[in-house]
Chain A
Amino acid sequence: MPNTELLLVEPDVLSRVLAKGRSTGAEFSEVFVEDKRSTSAGLDDGKIEQVSSGRDRGAGIRVVKGDTTGFAHTSNLSEKGLLAAAEAAAAAASRGGGGVNSVALGAVLRHPVNTIEKWPDEVTKRKKVAILQRVDLAARAVHKAIVQVSAGYGDSRKRILIANSDGVLAADEQVRTLLRVSVVASGDGGMQTGFQSLGHTIGFEVFDENDVEALARAAAQQAVTKLSARPAPSGSLPVVIKHGSGGVLFHEACGHGLEADIISKGASVYKDKRGELVASPLVTLIDDGTMTAEWGAIGIDDEGHPSQRNVLIHDGVLTDYMWDYLRARKEGRRQSGNGRRQSYQHLPMVRMTNTFVLNGPHDPAQIVRDTKQGVYVAKLGGGQVDTASGDFVFGMTEAYLIENGEITEPLRDGNLIGNGPQVLRDIDLLGNDFAMGNPGTCGKDGQGVPVGDGQPTLRVKSLTIGGTAA
């Protein structure tokens, strides 16, 4: 196993850089160091188009004085480079005097989220490429209507080191492996698409534990099924969402609105709602960065705080928001392990990790049988929310009509729209078949971070379907 004990920068250098960060009188300084190696490979049109290797390495330095944050980053990890960035960040945060000339760091904090069996840099590129070729063959074999397959493989191995003037010294190594497949099928009514993905915070062993051919066939089947799809209905109907496909609903309907930075600016419908019933009593919502191997898992967050399991909504009652360093400091409370950033070039902010709803009491098959007329969503796409009004949309990429308690005809793609607090209250049936969903990338303020989601099969008694059928 590769040596994970190495710190990217020596502690005595970090101490001097942190002191430089506080040299203009700031209360807080922080160094975030990152060294990331990544490999990606793309297959399209039956060919491996290219294999690509990437290296991103640098440090971001944050200085906080009063309510002002100064930030600078550098790809130069020498003491000279780091000191220059610290000086820039300090100047950015402050024009005042004062100063600090030493910072003591604690022992290195480490909080491994999982064990890596097959480090990506120890697996040959040939094996990585072979995964894509298997995907291509399996997808094309599903049906003669399959006209195009593209697939992408990606892995990354990211070492991070965080030190701050409160004495925190923390390191983590995050390995992620991802596979995605897109399929196009062509029929009399035009083209349709299918998409599946698989991503975990582990190494190449992900392919020992998951069937890539099955993933490819699922994407292909989705495209073929939609060839005979009819336009989705329009207007409001009951919607049943299959387990493991609809966590994005909670991510958008309330996850973002529970982020403390949005709360602190009064830009969320969930402000001042702690202790209140905000959802159906069936709903218990968790954000959990410690979930081994899940896509949003992290050992420590990007501010050096250990990841943890946070209960956001318990039996429908809002229990807590998610917190980063800045917002927690302001409120005089503990962080919740939700301070994340895209890279050393970005400021951290409050972000979700793995966000999911726990099992309810209902039999998933019965949920469908109890629905006379509605829509069954088997796969959701992305979404978007306006946290202030609570209005959100999310896409359905595989959906069916429910008629007299049975799943019937496939529907074409479309968006669903709803209002977060209303939809949470309208969840009237919650299944006992919890499953995690697909790997996601959550975008906020221009930064993307890996997140996971999950939920059991559930029913929302009324959602607006963005179809074209009258």
Chain B
Amino acid sequence: MKVEVPELQAIADRVVAQAKNGEQIEAYVSRGGETSVRVYEGELEHFVSAQSDGVGIRVIKDGRTGTAYAGTLDEPAIAEVLAEARDNVQFGTDDEFAGLASPDGVEPVPQKFWDDELAQYPTEKKVDLTKDLERRALAADSRVRTESANYDDGWGETAFATTTGVRTSGRANSCYVSVITLADDGDETQTGFGFSVGDSPNDFNLDKAAREAADRATRLLGATKPATKRTTVVLDPYVTSQFIGILSSAFNGENVAKGRSIFAERLGEQVAVQFFTLVDDPTNKLAYTATDIDGEGLAARRNVLIKDGVLQMFVHSSYSARRMKTKSTGNATRGGFAGSPGVGCLAMQVTPGTKSQAELIADIDDGVLIQEVSGLHSGVNPISGDFSTGASGVTIVNGAVGAPIREFTIGSTLQRMLQDIVAIGNDVDWLPMRAAGLSLVIKDVTISGS
């Protein structure tokens, strides 16, 4: 359902209406609020209730771009932002491809982004359910303590206008709960977490979040460091989601144009095993990052990135599309009013296979189930493809899970991992990340330990 926000749209329209001859202007106006509840040992630790708003303006003239933003919607401040953006134009380099998006006739797929029940959900109940979540996590296992239980929600309204005729507004809200746990055994302490997301708190599965948090903390108690070897790994859905998310930058058309993608020059080539298909589909309402429009106000759309292992396309904003002599794929990204548009995948999903995780494990004589990874930002280089992350999980011996292991790394390259996929699970999990999760089996990965 499309809900418009006339008040913010009017502000954006007023900015754009001030464009002078030869000037392109884009205005992005937003307003939002958040509630954050944290409970510790049955008591409310903090309660945050906050609202914020702001405007970001981009001006393009003679191929030069300037931008500015302010965290307020006061009229004098908006005038100052426009003046600053105009002033900044003169310092940009003339770029023949610079410009705003123009309407391309693709209609947005209507989706539900606003939930009235969440909007009206009473504060007391938010606190109560957070306390409830903490109690359930504690009840799940006697070895478990909590570090915190949290409820967070947020709402936002945005409006967007350009001199090229893009004009759109909307609002959205969302909420989630999470619990951080600690499990003790003698001198050893391990950490776990669990979470649940929903359109409104009525959708939360507190039991599942509590159980997962307790499991994650306790399953690593007594874990040892494995020996170094090359082996087959099963990535848990939560890990696969992070792995696939890293690939986003390789499909980024701007990175391709600037020679920063491992997939540049490889269109039409077999970049993954034949049974691997990857789509970016923000129109799928099951995806946590589903959206109707992209960061330039164009309709978000379904794009097939890899089909049967063959690289099909790159994703584009209007800028990268002009550089590559193609059309925007509705993949402009944007980090709020203070950010400028970039390019990226919006909601990635690997086409699922047919087996459950247990069935995948049953096929493996010797391997490791990777349940968590750390240091993706420091150990994965999406430009060279080098992949190395900290990991923890359990061994797989003769088709069954064995002992817990930790303090090791898994290493390969992104290019090889896609070619080394052995099997894909059917256990799709729409995690609150950019890519959906499922179990993924990859061979010839180096486990580095003792």
Task: Judge whether B359 is part of the interface by a CB distance below 8 angstroms.
Answer: no
Tell me the interface secondary structure of chain B in the complex. Answer: strand
Identify 21 residue pairs between A and B in the complex whose beta-carbon atoms are under 8 Å apart, listed by A's number.
Answer: A47-B95, A48-B93, A53-B84, A54-B69, A54-B338, A75-B53, A75-B54, A75-B72, A125-B91, A184-B383, A269-B189, A382-B378, A384-B377, A388-B189, A391-B392, A393-B374, A393-B378, A394-B378, A413-B381, A414-B379, A417-B448
Task: Judge whether A347 is part of the interface by a CB distance below 8 angstroms.
Answer: yes
Contact status A193-B70, CB under 8 Å: no
Task: Judge whether B106 is part of the interface by a CB distance below 8 angstroms.
Answer: no
**Which of B40-48, B296-304, B343-351 interfaces with chain A?**
B40-48
**Which of A62-70, A316-324, A327-335 interfaces with chain B?**
A62-70
Quick one: given A48-B91, A389-B190, are A55 and B52 in contact (CB under 8 Å)? no
- A384 to B409 Cα, complex, angstroms: 13
- A195 to B228 Cα, complex, angstroms: 30
- A74 to B189 Cα, complex, angstroms: 40
Task: Judge whether A144 is part of the interface by a CB distance below 8 angstroms.
Answer: no
Q: Which residues in window 7-24 of B have CB below 8 A to A? A: none
Interface size class of A (residues with CB under 8 A): 35 or more
Contact status B93-A47, CB under 8 Å: yes
Task: Judge whether B375 is part of the interface by a CB distance below 8 angstroms.
Answer: yes
Contact status B91-A413, CB under 8 Å: no
Q: Which residue of A52, A395, A412 contacts B67 across the interface (Cβ within 8 Å)?
A: A52
Task: Judge whether B92 is part of the interface by a CB distance below 8 angstroms.
Answer: yes
Contact status A467-B191, CB under 8 Å: no
**Which of B257-265, B279-287, B432-440 interfaces with chain A?**
B257-265
Contact status B383-A193, CB under 8 Å: yes
Quick one: given A388-B190, A415-B409, A470-B230, are A53 and B50 in contact (CB under 8 Å)? no
**0/1 interface trace, chain A 48-83, chain B, CB 8 Å (1 if under):** 111111111110000000111111111100000000
Contact status B91-A129, CB under 8 Å: yes
Q: Which residue of B48, B70, B446 contacts A234 across the interface (Cβ within 8 Å)?
A: B446
* Interfacial chain B residues near A232, Cβ < 8 Å: 388, 411
Most buried by A among B52, B188, B189, B450: B189
* Interfacial chain B residues near A58, Cβ < 8 Å: 52, 71-72
Task: Judge whether B166 is part of the interface by a CB distance below 8 angstroms.
Answer: no
Contact status A50-B340, CB under 8 Å: yes
- A190 to B262 Cα, complex, angstroms: 8
Contact status B147-A382, CB under 8 Å: no
A225 shortest CB reach to chain B, Å: 13
B148 shortest CB reach to chain A, Å: 8
* Interfacial chain A residues near B43, Cβ < 8 Å: 66-68
Contact status A73-B50, CB under 8 Å: yes
- A44 to B148 Cα, complex, angstroms: 42
The A/B interface has a contact count, at CB < 8 Å, of 260
Task: Judge whether A267 is part of the interface by a CB distance below 8 angstroms.
Answer: yes
* Interfacial chain A residues near B392, Cβ < 8 Å: 391
* Interfacial chain B residues near A54, Cβ < 8 Å: 68-70, 338
* Interfacial chain A residues near B72, Cβ < 8 Å: 55, 57-58, 75
Known: A265-B148, A381-B379, A415-B379. 16 other contacts (CB 8 A): A52-B67, A53-B67, A53-B84, A55-B77, A58-B72, A71-B46, A126-B91, A191-B384, A266-B145, A347-B48, A382-B378, A384-B378, A386-B374, A394-B375, A413-B384, A466-B388
Contact status B390-A393, CB under 8 Å: yes
Task: Judge whether B159 is part of the interface by a CB distance below 8 angstroms.
Answer: no
Contact status B65-A70, CB under 8 Å: no
**0/1 interface trace, chain A 190-209, chain B, CB 8 Å (1 if under):** 11110000000000000000
- A52 to B56 Cα, complex, angstroms: 10
The residue of chain B having its C-beta at the shortest distance from the C-beta of A389 within the complex is: B190
* Interfacial chain A residues near B67, Cβ < 8 Å: 50-53
Quick one: given A52-B68, A384-B375, A413-B384, are A147 and B259 in contact (CB under 8 Å)? yes
Task: Judge whether A342 is part of the interface by a CB distance below 8 angstroms.
Answer: no
Task: Judge whether A179 is part of the interface by a CB distance below 8 angstroms.
Answer: no
Contact status A235-B449, CB under 8 Å: yes
**0/1 interface trace, chain B 208-248, chain A, CB 8 Å (1 if under):** 00000000000010000100101000000000000000000
Most buried by B among A74, A89, A269, A386: A386
Most buried by A among B53, B88, B340, B413: B88
Contact status B407-A418, CB under 8 Å: yes
B431 shortest CB reach to chain A, Å: 18
Task: Judge whether A370 is part of the interface by a CB distance below 8 angstroms.
Answer: no
Contact status A52-B390, CB under 8 Å: no
Q: Which residue of A47, A234, A347, A384 contacts B228 across the interface (Cβ within 8 Å)?
A: A234
**0/1 interface trace, chain A 331-359, chain B, CB 8 Å (1 if under):** 00000000000000101000000000000
Which 7 A-B residue pairs are closest in the complex by CB-CB distance? Answer: A395-B378, A466-B409, A415-B379, A393-B375, A234-B448, A393-B390, A414-B388
* Interfacial chain B residues near A418, Cβ < 8 Å: 407
Task: Judge whether B408 is part of the interface by a CB distance below 8 angstroms.
Answer: yes
The residue of chain A having its C-beta at the shortest distance from the C-beta of B415 within the complex is: A190
A31 shortest CB reach to chain B, Å: 14
* Interfacial chain A residues near B383, Cβ < 8 Å: 184, 191-193
Task: Judge whether B316 is part of the interface by a CB distance below 8 angstroms.
Answer: no
Contact status B182-A266, CB under 8 Å: yes
* Interfacial chain A residues near B411, Cβ < 8 Å: 232, 234, 414, 466-468
Q: Which residue of B84, B87, B91 contacts A41 across the interface (Cβ within 8 Å)?
A: B91
Task: Judge whether B111 is part of the interface by a CB distance below 8 angstroms.
Answer: no
Task: Judge whether B80 is part of the interface by a CB distance below 8 angstroms.
Answer: yes
* Interfacial chain B residues near A48, Cβ < 8 Å: 91-93
- A80 to B289 Cα, complex, angstroms: 37
Task: Judge whether B144 is part of the interface by a CB distance below 8 angstroms.
Answer: no
* Interfacial chain B residues near A193, Cβ < 8 Å: 381, 383-384
A443 shortest CB reach to chain B, Å: 9
Q: Which residues in window 405-447 of A have CB below 8 A to B? A: 412-415, 417-419
- A236 to B114 Cα, complex, angstroms: 52
Contact status A45-B258, CB under 8 Å: yes
Contact status A464-B381, CB under 8 Å: no
Q: Which residue of B48, B257, B450 contacts A235 across the interface (Cβ within 8 Å)?
A: B450
A40 shortest CB reach to chain B, Å: 9
Task: Judge whether A148 is part of the interface by a CB distance below 8 angstroms.
Answer: yes
Task: Judge whether A460 is part of the interface by a CB distance below 8 angstroms.
Answer: no
Contact status B47-A92, CB under 8 Å: yes
Contact status A92-B48, CB under 8 Å: yes
* Interfacial chain A residues near B377, Cβ < 8 Å: 381-382, 384, 395
Task: Judge whether A373 is part of the interface by a CB distance below 8 angstroms.
Answer: no
Task: Judge whether A300 is part of the interface by a CB distance below 8 angstroms.
Answer: no
* Interfacial chain A residues near B52, Cβ < 8 Å: 58, 73, 75, 345
Quick one: given A75-B71, A466-B448, A467-B446, are A413 and B388 in contact (CB under 8 Å)? yes
Q: Which residues in window 369-394 of A have CB below 8 A to B? A: 381-384, 386-389, 391-394
The residue of chain B having its C-beta at the shortest distance from the C-beta of A150 within the complex is: B258
- A266 to B259 Cα, complex, angstroms: 48
Task: Judge whether A14 is part of the interface by a CB distance below 8 angstroms.
Answer: no
* Interfacial chain B residues near A391, Cβ < 8 Å: 374, 390, 392, 406-407
Task: Judge whether B51 is part of the interface by a CB distance below 8 angstroms.
Answer: yes
Q: Which residues in window 79-98 of B have CB below 8 A to A? A: 80-81, 84-85, 87-88, 91-93, 95
The residue of chain B having its C-beta at the shortest distance from the C-beta of A62 within the complex is: B46
Q: Which residues in window 257-316 of A have CB below 8 A to B? A: 265-267, 269
